[in-house]
Chain A
C-alpha cells in the first residue's frame, strides 16, 4: 500500500462547476500538506500549503485537512478552463528533507 493515495482520474467537469480533489494517507506523523499544480509538459508548482488540520482559502481554492480521517481535499470553485492541469498532493513531517507525493489527478475543465 502506498503511503499517499490519490485517484489519478482523469476527471472532466464543465466550466463553473465545483471540483473536489482528494488524497488519503497512512502516516499519522504527516503535519504539512501541500497541493501542487502541473500544467502539461511543465514542472509542478506549489498551489496551496496547510499545516496540521483545518481549512485554508485562497481565492477560488480551498484546502482542507482532516487528520483524524487521514484525508485531505482541494476544492476549486467556479472552475475555469485555465484550471485544467494535473493536481498532486504532497505531505511531509517536521524535520524531513523529503516530500511524499500522491500519483496526481488529471483534471479537465470543459468550456
Chain B
C-alpha cells in the first residue's frame, strides 16, 4: 500500500463546530487531493494541492479550507460543520499530473455531523 494515513478515521461532531482532518504521506508525492464520497455522487473533489502552500479548489469547495505547510501533510478544515458535510472523506496522492495520473488513496475518514 502507498504510504498514506488519514486521521482521525472516525469522527462524530456537532453542527457549528470546527473540524480538521489530516492526511499524511511518506511517498514524497507532489500532488495531494481531498475528496468526499456520498451515495449517488461518487467521488467529488473538494480541494487539491500541487506543492507546498499551493492549493486550488475542486467542484465542492464551499465550506472547506485546506493547508499544506509540508510536503507530507495536507489538512482539510470544516470551519463550521453542517449536517450536509456528513460523508466519507478520502485523501489521495499522485506523483504526476495529466496523462497516466494514478492516484493512490488513503483509507478514508468517516465524519458524522449531528
Chain A residues contacting B98 (CB-CB under 8 Å) are 32, 92-97
Question: Out of A43, A92, A97, which one reaches B90, CB within 8 Å?
Answer: A43
Q: Which of A34, A88, A95, A101 has the most CB of B within 10 A?
A: A101
Give the contacts of A72-92 with B (CB-CB under 8 A).
88, 92
Chain B residues contacting A95 (CB-CB under 8 Å) are 97-99
B102 at the interface (CB under 8 A from A): yes
> Could you tell me the distance between the alpha carbons of A97 and B98 in the complex, rounded to whole angstroms?
5
Query: Which one of A14-22, A44-52, A53-61, A63-71 is at the interface?
Result: A44-52
A44 close to B43 (CB less than 8 A):
yes
Number of A-B contacts (CB under 8 A): 66
A96, closest chain B residue (CB): B98
A6, closest chain B residue (CB): B42
Chain B residues contacting A49 (CB-CB under 8 Å) are 100, 102
Chain A interface size, as a band, is: 20 to 34
A43 close to B106 (CB less than 8 A):
yes
Chain B residues contacting A96 (CB-CB under 8 Å) are 97-98, 101
The smallest beta-carbon distance between A5 and chain B, in angstroms, is: 10
B105 at the interface (CB under 8 A from A): yes
Q: Which of A43, A45, A101 has the most CB of B within 10 A?
A: A43
5 nearest A-B pairs in the assembled complex, by CB-CB distance: A43-B105, A103-B42, A95-B98, A97-B97, A101-B43
